[in-house]
Each structure stands twice: as C-alpha cells, then as structure tokens.
Amino acid sequence: MSEKPTSFILLVSKGILRDRHMRRTVLFWVIAAALLMVAVGALLLDDWLMHNLLIALLYWGACAWLTLTSVLLAFFDMLVVRGEAARERQRFKRTVLGSEDDASGKPGDRPL
C-alpha cells in the first residue's frame, strides 16, 4: 500500500524531468514562488516573523528550499541541453561526413 504513492511521486518527477517544456514551466513557477516569498517576507511579514523565531525559521527555510530547488533544476536543465547539443553535433557529423570518421587527426580540425 505504501508503494503506490511512492511510485506515483516517482512517475510525476520523471515526467517533469524528462519533458523540457514541463521542466521549464516548473522552474518558472518555483522561482516565482521563491521571489514572492522573499518579497512578502521582507515587506509584509517582517514584524510578525521577528517575534516568532520558529515560524521565521520555517518560513525562510521553505524559501531557501525553493531557491535550492530552482538552482538544482536549472543546473539539471543546463546539463540536459548540453547533452542534447552534443548528440545533435554527432548526428550532424554523421549526416555530413557519412559513416566515415574524421581520420586526419589534426588537433586544429576539431570544433570546440
């Protein structure tokens, strides 16, 4: 019975991470939520948070968690885009050069 929620969470996470549009949409909303939390916490809730230390720690901890999540998601997106670009470069090389590899071996011939 405990496997169903876990597998559902894993399936949703995989769906978010594998789809570029969904990944970037989630990234946008996580960044927007973190910015909103910073603005509301600094401008509207500052006096209330100053008097309640535990609530302030929980509030700013949640804001830090959203910020860390957005940084990790952006880093993952960057790695996925780099991997896709490398695969596209290899596919382009195969279509332009055919099935032959570049056998010249000159270091200046390789693209950066």
- Tens of pLDDT, residue by residue over 16-37, are 888 999 999 999 999 999 999 9
C-beta atoms surrounding 30 within 10 Å: 19
Q: Tell me if 76 is assigned to some domain.
A: yes
Q: Tell me if 112 is assigned to some domain.
A: no
Q: Tell me if 105 is assigned to some domain.
A: no
Q: Tell me if 58 is assigned to some domain.
A: yes
HEC-encoded secondary structure of 9-26: HHHHHHHHHHCHHHHHHH
Quote the pTM value. 0.72
Q: Tell me if 81 is assigned to some domain.
A: yes
What's the domain count of the chain?
1
Q: Tell me if 70 is assigned to some domain.
A: yes
Q: Which domain holds residue 75?
A: 3-99
Q: What is the model's pLDDT at position 69?
A: 95
